[in-house]
Amino acid sequence: MIHTLTLNPALDKTVVIPHFQTDTVNRIRTLRLDPGGKGINVSKVIRKMGGISRATALLGGSTGRQIQEMLEHEGIEVDVISVPGQTRTNLKIIDPETKTNTDINESGQPLTPEQTEAAFRHFTEQLQEGDLAVLAGSVPAGVPHDIYARYIRVCRDRGVKVFLDADGALFAEGVQAAPYLIKPNQDELSRFVGTPLTMLEEIRGAADSLLARGITKVVVSMGGRGRCMSPVKPACMHRRFRFR
């Protein structure tokens, strides 16, 4: 079973506003609502590819119920961890004329230490050897930066492969626990090593340093340049990285 975990989900409201401007009234051309959060997005992609996953998410209030209903309508198994308050709503403004995208994200309801521990137990107790766990995205206020590292260590002890997609301190702490796969983007990897990475050799060197920490696979997404994978099969021109 593939388990995805979203500790800070959101209802994504995407609006299209031609010639968007500040300090004035803007008219929305179209509006779309989507259940969001990195872990949830992974489950949505798995479903579209014909696969099965269980999407565990911390959901609260009417917004949380709406997200649950939308995911179930898409045929995704939803494992709800109920939390107080309303699940956050994020606003994404797209201006097709200027080709800009503006994200306005809420931080999400804070969690107490007790709520954080309850969610930890809920998720880890259902894992079985051979499962795959995807830990992705931000966390609410009040959740310690080593939370993903804790999940990773328990998963490894139970024979569960972990894919980690996070940023900042969450990523840095998670790397210390050596998940099976990590997927930073180019900017996130640059922040982790503390220097801008622009050249292929620089990115490869940073990825190699992560492999040396016991991580099996490193995938660096690079926007319009594609992605960089390490290691790759020998058939790929005998190179350690592949771009698509």
pLDDT tens, 110-119?
999 999 999 9
pLDDT at 235: 30
Task: Give the model confidence (pLDDT) of 189-222 as tens digits.
Answer: 999 999 999 898 899 999 999 998 899 999 998 8
Residue type, 205: G
pLDDT at 81: 97
pTM, two decimal places: 0.85
What percentage of the chain exceeds 90 in pLDDT?
86
90 forms beta bridges with: 12
Task: Give the model confidence (pLDDT) of 121-179 as tens digits.
Answer: 999 999 999 999 999 999 999 999 999 999 999 999 999 999 999 999 999 999 999 99
pLDDT at 218: 94
Mean pLDDT of the residues in the chain:
90
Long-range CB pairs of 167-172, under 8 A, 24+ apart, other chains included: 167/138, 167/191, 169/145, 170/138, 170/139, 170/145, 172/145
Give the mean model confidence (pLDDT) for residues 4-28: 97
Asked if residue 8 has pLDDT above 80, the reply is: yes
24: which residues sit within 8 A by CB, 6+ positions away? Answer: none
Band (225; pLDDT cuts 50, 70, 90) = low
Band (239; pLDDT cuts 50, 70, 90) = very low
Nearest-angstrom CA–CA distance, 33 and 41? 13
| 144 cis-preceded (ω within 30 degrees of 0) | no
Asked if residue 224 has pLDDT above 80, the reply is: no
pLDDT at 77: 97
What percentage of the chain exceeds 70 in pLDDT?
91
pLDDT at 222: 82
Give the mean model confidence (pLDDT) for residues 13-20: 97
Asked if residue 233 has pLDDT above 80, the reply is: no
